[in-house]
Amino acid sequence: MLDLSFKKFTRELNERRYDGPQSSSEFKKLSPKMKAAILDIYSMINKASDPIISKIEGIIKIASRKHGVSTYDIEDYFDNELIK
């Protein structure tokens, strides 16, 4: 089930890009490290050229290493963001 939500997220990235989720309730619940990682991911997505879908896993891995958070936590955040 988690894979389906994450796949939905990657599909939606191709449809729209925006500055970030700062106003969402899920984002406000995150630790400062996770917030920095998520904002970094959105920044990298906005700078990436198309097709973005093939690059999303690499972007998440880079952000997780850079900010010291797990890729599972990042993917879980995006799943929760899409569910609400």
| pLDDT 10s digits, 43-69 | 898 888 778 788 889 999 999 999 999
Q: Tell me, what's the pLDDT at 67?
A: 96
Which ranges of 18-70 would DSSP assign to H, the alpha helix? 25-28, 32-47, 56-67
Per-residue pLDDT band at 1 (split at 50, 70, 90) = very low
CA angle 8, 11, 14 (to 5 degrees): 150
| Least confident among 4-8, 12-16, 64-68 | 12-16
Average pLDDT, the chain: 82
Buried b (16+ CB within 10 A) or exposed e, 4-27: ebbeebeeebeeeeeebbeeeebb
Residue type, 76: D
Residue, of 36 and 47, whose pLDDT is higher:
36
Quote the CA–CA distance of 8 and 23 in Å, as a whole number: 21
